[in-house]
Amino acid sequence: MTATSRVLVVDDSAFMRKILCDLIALDPQFEIVGTANNGREAIEAVRVHQPDVITMDLEMPEMNGLEALERIMRIHPTPIIMLSSISDDGTRETIRALQNGAFDFIRKPSGPNSPDIQMVGEQLIEKLRIAVLTKRHSSLYQQASAPAPASAPKKSAISKQKETFTFDTAALPKPASRLDAAKASKEMPDQAAMNETAAASSKHVEPSKPAAATGLGRSVAKQEKEMPKPAPSQTLQSDSDVPAKNTSKPAPNRNFRHLVAIGTSTGGPRALHEVITALPGDFPAPVLVVQHMPPKFTHSLAQRLDSFSALHVTEAVHGERVFAGVVYIAPGGYHMELAKDREGYCIKLSDEAPRGGHRPSVDTMFESCAAFTELRRHSVIMTGMGSDGMKGMKVLNDSGAESAIAEAEESCVVYGMPRSAIEAGFAKSVVNLRQIAAAITQAVRK
């Protein structure tokens, strides 16, 4: 008989705790060992019950989910799945949680009779299973340090602590004004089942008119009617853990010889924070990023990365120009490709069918870069479930790409996507997360 996995449910609403417990109880693999209605109770429950996995609400009285996450990851590292709303505040706080060590997140169900309850339950069970497997096989959850003395000053959620999966951030330039991408309003099933309900609250906007493109698939011009138009930027409010910065960032450069493309999934926000914030301000190449994530969340991810990075980080907009020194994150619900027209390189977004359950797809992005053999291309696959990116990495290699980096197992939250690329023989180098930025920087300076 398979041993059951122990689950702790943390939420300040007794109603929501009941819904979550009922959903989890549908799978005999899991046993609810305790519940808590705020972060302080959660920390004590972790000490008493030592659960295998935790579900954690973000907004709670006395101690919120972010602070509880930080403390639990310091004293007893445990996979934590955050319960998130799709409000702007909810998506921003979710990104903070993921960068500070949360394993994954799901959208909070709206009620026991809502049409999305079954979908949310299926997602929750799947993520719980993956979290438990990850804890059993990953060294990331094996180390814990003693709690800080009561008299010690409170540690920042972004101080560098390996055991908490958090990061060291020096004072970096403040984000410049930029354009936001509007969010998708229809989504795919499977991997983006949560995207479907998240997108339901997104609003359509009139399309922008990008420059006509040639080459890959449908032209940029032909997709003009389908794409969101840029909207005025809503600068992310400074969080308490964001250090003050000056306002200057290097001017984007249209001239470049190198291109970097990064793909990631579960554990990706943390990994992207580690890599993107370590790239220098004079980085001489554009960086294209696919992170499997629903609409609205990719926008918050881009904003938060931008606030810590020396580079410009933006959620990609259909038809916008591609520059060195800019990181383009594929918006949830759209494939992102590199395209080219008479004026130069540009972003192409499409809502074509998901690939392997993913939209955006890493394979789609990688394969779009293969056509541009005049560029010295560098692909990177980091933590995530499944094998997205493996086929695209091969296509890039076959077209003459210079680098093909896979994240090493010991630093992955989920060793799925990198493992697929490594075992297939397509990764040319295997690099620990903390060395990936240095490896990329060295490659593009050759």
**pLDDT digit string, tens, across residues 140-192:** 776 543 333 333 333 333 233 323 233 232 322 333 333 333 333 333 333 44
- Report residue 438 CA to chain centroid gap: 20
Domain membership of residue 18 as a residue range: 5-136
The CATH number assigned to the domain holding 425 equals: 3.40.50.180
The single residue listed with the structure tokens 């989920």 is 414
Q: Is residue 248 part of a domain?
A: no
Residue 339's beta-bridge partner residues?
346
Residue 88 tokens read as 């702007």
Total domains in the chain come to 2
Q: Are residues 264 and 398 in the same domain?
A: yes
pLDDT score for 330: 98
Query: What pLDDT is attached to residue 72?
Result: 96
* Other residues' Cβ atoms within 10 Å of the Cβ of residue 246: 9
Structural domain includes residue 18: yes
In a domain, 312, yes or no: yes
- The packing angle between helices 88-99 and 268-276, to 10°, is 70
Q: Which of 136, 152, 182 is the last residue of a domain?
A: 136
In a domain, 29, yes or no: yes
Active site residues: 265, 292, 388
274 inside domain:
yes
Helix then strand count (H, E) for the chain reads 12, 16
Nearest in space to 314 (alpha carbons), one of 240, 233, 383: 233
Matching residue, tokens 């609400």: 57
* pTM strictly above 0.85: no
**Residues with Cβ < 8 Å from 53, sequence gap 6 or more?**
5, 6, 7, 8, 78, 79, 80, 81, 103, 128, 131, 132, 135
Rounded CA gap, 418 and 413, in Å? Answer: 11
Domain termination site, one of 108, 136, 164: 136
- pLDDT for 411 beyond 50: yes
Is residue 384 within 8 Å of residue 360, measured between CB atoms? no
φ, ψ for residue 341, nearest 5 deg: -135, -165
pLDDT of res. 347: 98
In a domain, residue 194? The reply is no
Q: Which of 136, 158, 193 is the last residue of a domain?
A: 136
Tokens of 238: 């400074």
Is 366 part of a structural domain of the chain? Answer: yes
User: CATH number for the domain including 124?
Assistant: 3.40.50.2300
Residue in 114, 244, 106 with CA at minimum distance from that of residue 172: 244
Highest mean pLDDT: which range of 77-86, 190-199, 400-409: 400-409
What residue type is assigned to position 365 of the chain? M
Residue 159 domain-assigned?
Answer: no
